[in-house]
Amino acid sequence: MVVSMPASDNLRLEAADIHSYIFDAELPRRRAGSWGDSAEKVLRYGSFVGSSLECHTRLGRAMEHARLHIDSEEKRGWSVQSGRVILAGTLTGSKGRFTRSWHAPEGGLWGCLLHGTTLTAPSTLLLSLALGVAACEAIRQMGVRDCAVRWVNDVLVKGEKVAGFLVESHTGPRWKEIFHLIGFGINVNNQVFPKELESWAASISQALGASVNLPDFTLDFIAKLAWNIGLLYYIEARYPDWWEDPSEHCHPVLARWRKLSDTLGQRVVFGYDVIEKPQFSARVAGVSSEGGLRLVLDDGREITEYSGEIRYI
């Protein structure tokens, strides 16, 4: 279960630590909420997250490392464990979407989760939202109360980005199994940003005015991922007809996202690549049952977008 790799100075975690944290710390919190005894079932569905762990002092790109890991395991005739988390103390070749840079120095939480795509298509639509919810919950747990999710899953504190995700699919070369490579970057204790990022990036420690115990935060973030991804599986198993008419209910991941997001009601500029090619401005009317962004255009018409990004204006 535990894969030992050279650990960075601030990340000496093992998979067993994650498992213990999920059931000893996260479960009582969730049980005490509205989920009661069902909380354990949800976490059992999600506990594959972090079931194996690699910690590195330094990597180029965690997602590239994950890709190579899948390819090499399959070429050896082995199957790849879903839920493996790859962490790095620093990333030297990290990038954001498109050609954007992502600064990943020491002090942040940088990594990738390998997720075998066993969710149905509609649940997969909510996966991206679940990631933002997990990061926002973990950051709030540290005491940053004014952090919020911006559609789809950026996490901001007072308008400055603290956490972001990149999800890419990768097909194994031999078994053709499809994985989501869930790349995450969270500014935890790093405080210095390159000039081009200075005005819109921040870290948790800046927001708190104090440094954060990185391993503790890491455990909590992974446990929150386990919960929110677990919810996607739990709902599929418990309510097989859920997606036949999704407008009839509100998925718990979506409900939580709505509570943690400050996107609803905002005036935004929308674009597939909103920085390089902004397309139009609109007001956010809501989020559809599948996670699409409902936008009211200036002429009063409403459209729903499932792909793209926004900036508040």
Partner 1 sequence: MSNEIDFDELLGKYKSDPYDYIDVFSIHTGAVTFTINEGDEVDAASGEWRHIPGTTLYEINRERNPKPVSSKINGTISYLNRELDGSFVEAGEKLMTIRHPLKKKEIIEGILKKVLYLFPAPERAKYFFAMDIQSRIEKKGARSVSIAPGDEILTMSLMKRDTPIYYQGEPGVIHSVYFDPGVSVDQGSPLIGVCASDKVSMIQKIITRVKADWDTDH
User: Could you tell me which residues are beta bridge partners of residue 131?
Assistant: none
**Which of residues 283, 285, 308, 311 is near partner 1 by CB under 8 A?**
308
Contact between 279 and partner 1 by CB under 8 A: the answer reads: yes
Q: How far is the CB of 168 from partner 1 (least distance, A)?
A: 5
Q: Which is nearer to partner 1, 153 or 261 (CB)?
A: 153
User: Could you tell me which residues are beta bridge partners of residue 191?
Assistant: none
Q: How far is the CB of 40 from partner 1 (least distance, A)?
A: 29
Torsion sign (Cα): 199, 201, 204, 210: negative
Q: Which is nearer to partner 1, 26 or 290 (CB)?
A: 290
Amino acid at 120: T
Contact between 309 and partner 1 by CB under 8 A: the answer reads: yes
Q: Which residues of 253-285 are buried (b: 16+ CB within 10 A; e: fewer)?
A: bbebbbebbbbeebebbbbeebeeebeeebebe
Contact between 204 and partner 1 by CB under 8 A: the answer reads: no
**Which of residues 271, 283, 294, 311 is near partner 1 by CB under 8 A?**
271
Contact between 152 and partner 1 by CB under 8 A: the answer reads: yes
Collect all residues with Cβ–Cβ distance below 8 Å to 52 and sequence separation of at least 6. 1, 2, 3, 15, 81, 83, 84, 85
Contact between 312 and partner 1 by CB under 8 A: the answer reads: no
User: Which stretch in 44-52, 87-95, 222-230, 272-280 sits in contact with partner 1 by CB under 8 A?
Assistant: 272-280
> What is the torsion angle, in degrees rounded to the nearest 10, for the CA atoms of residue 32, residue 51, residue 41 and residue 254?
70
Site string for partner 1, 287-306 (x = CB under 8 A): ----x-----x-x-xxx-xx
Q: Which residue has the tokens 């859920």?
A: 242
Distance separating alpha carbons of residues 160 and 83, to the nearest angstrom: 29
Q: Which is nearer to partner 1, 190 or 263 (CB)?
A: 263
Contacting positions for partner 1 (CB under 8 A): 97, 121, 124-129, 152-153, 165-171, 180, 271-272, 277, 279-280, 291, 297, 299, 301-303, 305-309
